[in-house]
Structure formats: C-alpha cells, structure tokens
Amino acid sequence: MGLRGFWQGNKVLLVMVPSLALIHWGWYQLKENPQLYKPREEHIPEPGIVAYVSPRAAESKSVAMKPPRSWLRRNWLWAAGGAFLSVHAATWLMQSAVKGAVRSEAATRSEAAALRQRPAWERPD
C-alpha cells in the first residue's frame, strides 16, 4: 500500500486530526489570553479543605469576594459555535481546493493523452 492508497483510505483522518489539533491549540491560546479577563487584585483562592471544614465561612467569603466572570465564561456558547463553524468552513475550503487541483490534474492528463494519440504531423510543436 503506497502513499496514494493511504491517502485514499484515510482522507478524513488526515484532514480532521490536524484540524482538531489546531482547534484545541487555538482554544488554549484564547483561554490563556490576558486581554479576555478582567484584572484582579491578587486574588488567592482558598484551599478546598477550608471550604469543606467550615462551609459557612467559605459561603460568606465567596459571596462577598466573588471574582468577576471572564468574557469567555460568559460567552462560551458563542465561542464554541464560532469554532464549530470555522472548522467546517475551513474543511469545506480545503476540500474545494483539493477538488479543483484534482480536476485540473485530470484535465492535464487527458489533454496529454489526446496529444499522444494524434499522428505526428497533426501535433502542435
């Protein structure tokens, strides 16, 4: 099984794995971007054991010092929908480009075959 057979049998895999990797990398970059978060004054979260041992103190403190929600947390559905649509649009564009390349290659091959079938005196130089 050569490269052509591998490509024919695994097109979806070869397109979607890099696409998913790039989507996850982009999502990670979005989450780590400090411009999408409101600045906090040295917020130090309590360890989980404190909230477990004294739930009343943890509740009163969490109500009073609730950190602001980031843009990404408030609009996660829009971000996920945009990522979904962009992946599908990119896949469609890649498929269109490959289809056009295959068609032009097939046209070139058929023209070359037609030229070979002509007698020598009818062939262009």
Angle between helical axes of 11-32 and 76-117 (0-180°, round to 10):
150
For residues 87 and 36, give the distance between their C-alpha atoms in angstroms, rounded to a whole number. Answer: 22
pLDDT score for 92: 92
Q: Which pLDDT score is estimated for 2? A: 84
Helix (H), strand (E), coil (C) string for 56-117: HHHHHHHHHCCCCCCHHHHCHHHHHHHHHHHHHHHHHHHHHHHHHHHHHHHHHHHHHHHHHH
**pTM for this entry:** 0.38
Tell me what pLDDT residue 38 has: 63
pLDDT in 10s for each residue of the chain, 125 residues: 688 888 888 888 888 999 999 999 998 888 888 777 766 655 556 566 655 655 555 455 555 566 778 888 888 889 999 999 999 999 999 998 999 888 888 888 888 888 777 776 776 65
Beta-carbon contacts of 73 under 8 Å, excluding residues fewer than 6 positions away, are none
Scan for tokens 């962009």, then name that residue.
86
